[in-house]
């Protein structure tokens, strides 16, 4: 079987507590060989839905889209196993393929970790990082590619590899459980600003020490890639029913069947593309109202619009949305706000 080659640049940081050296501003050039073998469990060309990540699964869109891009694949039994914890080697490979840059050397000169051998599918990735002076192993002299990574470690390696500016200081809590003085506060702040990890609805928490599973890591990478193109991520609900008689903040009469939405700040007339992340269904809506005014929600769809992408019984869904046509700000008309039930 021929060896496939692709190019990438990696900037790595802390993967395992204090056990890796960090060179945030370093980029090195090399060629990565994609080795064949069943251990290479995250990559394949088939784009059919995984039997354990079908429509209705919270990671459906993220897993499906990254699979189409050739960034992930399933196990030999055809499953993806989204709830399995992701290890260092898997996360590193996904990240480098998701954000390819320029070439790096995989010459294993002076390289030695007893648990990383040339027959391992992840060998070239570890050699690349080592030759670039970016990583070291644990105090026992091993790299431990099998070890899991937690949420803030995932955010850190992802954002440093992306290469965008990272704030030097953080003034406020980006999540309710992230103090501005924490070493990872800057990464959490970027995550909150770009919706890489959506805050828990009622508490606003991140849970920084939580180990990442495969579905969650792929979801985070998908949010990262899409946020670079202007996408935002949040929860959405619906409001209104047949027979209601109220106005909207824009002055229009509320129409439950209109493809419209309420947003706290976007100008009236702004057109949004909204995607249900659990099934990939899309709809275009116009912002003509204000809200929602409940914790943890950023978008309210009319019941008619919501029903185009989910059942009303869902109540709440996770969505991706992007502005496809901006409108000039208009004066708001104060009306009695409808009750938002979700």
As a whole number, mean pLDDT of residues 11-24 equals 31
Q: Is residue 80 part of a domain?
A: no
Residue 243 confidence class, pLDDT cut points 50, 70, 90: low
Distance CA 323, CA 51 (A): 33
Same domain (yes/no): 222, 172: yes
Domain that holds residue 199: 151-227
The reported pLDDT for the residue numbered 18 is 27
Counted domains in the chain = 2
Q: Fill in the DSSP letter of residue 314.
A: G
Instruction: With respect to residue 239, please indicate whether it lies within any of the assigned structural domains.
Output: yes
Q: Which two tokens stand for residue 260?
A: 């419209």
Q: Are residues 307 and 237 in the same domain?
A: yes
Supply the pTM of this predicted model: 0.81
Q: Tell me, yes or no, whether 194 lies in a domain.
A: yes
| pLDDT given for residue 299 in this prediction | 97
User: Domain check: are 216 and 237 in the same one?
Assistant: no
Domain boundary among 227, 247, 274: 227
Same-domain check for residues 215 and 245 = no
Summarised one tens digit per residue, pLDDT across range 191-231 is 999 999 999 999 999 999 999 999 999 999 999 999 999 99
Q: 191 with 237, same domain?
A: no
What pLDDT sits at residue 73? 85
Report whether pLDDT(313) > 60.
Answer: yes
Element (DSSP H or E) covering residue 299 = strand 299-302
Query: What value does the mean pLDDT take over residues 291-316?
Result: 94
Domain annotation covers residue 202: yes
Percentage above 90 pLDDT, the chain: 61
Mean pLDDT of the chain: 82
* Residue 289 within any structural domain of the chain: yes
| CATH number of the domain within which 247 lies | 2.40.40.10
Is 312 a domain residue? yes
Residue 108 in domain: no
Per-residue DSSP letters for 10-25?
-----SSTT-S---TT
Query: Model confidence over 132-179: pLDDT tens digits?
Result: 555 678 899 999 999 999 999 999 988 988 889 999 999 999 999 999
Q: Is the model's pLDDT at 96 over the cut of 80?
A: no
SS3 of 294-339:
CCCCCEEEEHHHHHHHCCHHHCCEEEEEEEEECCCCCCCCCCCCCC
Mean pLDDT of the 258-263 span: 97
Confidence of residue 62 (pLDDT cuts 50, 70, 90): very high
- For residues 199 and 256, state if they share a domain: no
Confidence bin at 102 (pLDDT 50/70/90): low
171 φψ region: left (φ > 0), alpha (ψ -120 to 50), beta (else): alpha
Domain assignment present for 178: yes
One domain for residues 292 and 317: yes
Query: What CA–CA distance (Å, rounded) separates 295 from 58?
Result: 20
- The residue from 227, 256, 274 where one domain ends is 227
Domain final position from 227, 255, 285: 227
């Amino acid at each position: 079987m021929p060896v496939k080659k692709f190019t990438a640049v990696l900037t790595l940081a802390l993967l395992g507590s204090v056990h890796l050296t960090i060179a945030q501003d370093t980029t090195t050039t090399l060629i990565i060989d994609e080795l064949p073998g069943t251990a290479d469990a995250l990559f394949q060309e088939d784009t059919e839905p995984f039997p354990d990540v079908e429509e209705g699964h919270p990671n459906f869109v993220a897993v499906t889209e990254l699979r189409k891009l050739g960034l992930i694949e399933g196990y030999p039994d055809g499953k993806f196993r989204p709830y399995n914890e992701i290890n260092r080697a898997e996360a590193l490979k996904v990240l480098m393929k998701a954000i390819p840059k320029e070439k790096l050397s995989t010459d294993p000169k002076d390289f030695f970790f007893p648990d990383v051998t040339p027959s391992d599918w992840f060998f070239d990735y570890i050699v690349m990082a080592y030759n670039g002076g970016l990583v070291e192993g644990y105090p026992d002299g091993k790299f431990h590619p099998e070890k899991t990574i937690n949420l803030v470690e995932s955010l850190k390696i992802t954002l440093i590899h992306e290469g965008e500016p990272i704030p030097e200081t953080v003034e406020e809590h980006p999540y309710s459980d992230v103090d501005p003085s924490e070493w990872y506060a800057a990464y959490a702040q970027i995550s909150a600003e770009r919706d890489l990890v959506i805050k828990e609805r009622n508490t606003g928490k991140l849970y920084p020490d939580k180990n990442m599973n495969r579905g969650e890591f792929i979801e985070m990478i998908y949010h990262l890639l899409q946020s670079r193109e202007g996408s935002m991520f949040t929860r959405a609900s619906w409001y209104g029913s047949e027979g209601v008689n109220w106005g909207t903040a824009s002055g229009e009469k509320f129409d439950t069947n209109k493809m419209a939405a309420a947003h706290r700040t976007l100008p009236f007339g702004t057109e949004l593309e909204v995607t249900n992340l659990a099934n990939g269904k899309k709809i275009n809506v116009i912002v003509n109202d204000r809200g929602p005014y409940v914790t943890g929600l950023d978008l309210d769809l009319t019941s008619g619009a919501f029903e185009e992408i989910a059942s009303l019984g869902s109540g709440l869904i996770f969505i991706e949305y992007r502005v496809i046509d901006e409108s000039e700000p208009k004066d708001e008309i104060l009306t009695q706000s409808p009750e938002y039930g979700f």
